[in-house]
Each structure stands twice: as C-alpha cells, then as structure tokens.
Amino acid sequence: MTDQIARNEKQLGAILRRARKQAGLAQGALGDQIHLRQGTVSRLEAGEPAVQLRTVMAALSALGLELVVRTRSKGNAADVEDLF
C-alpha cells in the first residue's frame, strides 16, 4: 500500500477499510484478531470520533500499517473545515 494521508476520522476509516479488504479480511475477522466486536470495527471504518486511540493502533498493527506524524502540507480552507 502506498502512503496515504488522513486528515480526519472518516479518511482514516476509509484507509483502514481499504487495507482490510486488500488483506482479504471481513470486519469480524479483523475484530477477532484485535479482540473487538465486528461493530467496533465498523464504527472505526465509518470514522466515528468516539473510537479509542488504542483501537486505531491495534487495527493499524493487525493490518501491517503504522501511524506517521509529520508537518501538515499547505491546504485550502475546505481542508480545515473538514476537521470540525
């Protein structure tokens, strides 16, 4: 998988969904790997903001991904509005 940028919860959820599907896993199978219910995986992929950070990190790890933090590239006003 190439590097992808997520600037909000929905974008991160979409990245996780694509990675899970590329791995050939159902939501329930990923949930089993990280000891969570299928519904929690669904909420994570939907970008629900109430999902705990440890859940995000567990999903990333199970999918062979990692979180990288870097200085944000210049964006437009719409990018900032998407954060709120």
**Contact between residue 20 and residue 27 where contact means Cβ atoms under 8 Å apart:** yes
Q: Report the pLDDT value the prediction gives residue 79, as an integer from 0 to 100.
A: 60
| pLDDT (tens digit per residue) in 6-19 | 999 999 999 999 99
**Cα(84)–Cα(72) distance, rounded to whole angstroms?**
16
Q: Report the pLDDT value the prediction gives residue 43, as an integer from 0 to 100.
A: 96
Q: Report the pLDDT value the prediction gives residue 73, as an integer from 0 to 100.
A: 81
Place of tokens 């990018």: 79
Q: How far apart are the first and last CA of the chain?
A: 28
For the segment 22-45, the average pLDDT, to the nearest whole number, is 97
Does 80 have pLDDT greater than 70?
no
- Token readout for 61 is 């790890």
Q: Where are the domains of the chain?
A: 9-81
Q: Which conformational region is residue 26 in: left (phi greater than 0), alpha (psi within -120 to 50 degrees), or beta?
A: beta
The domain 9-81 is placed in CATH, from the list 3.40.50.10860, 1.10.260.40, 3.60.90.10, 3.40.50.450, at 1.10.260.40
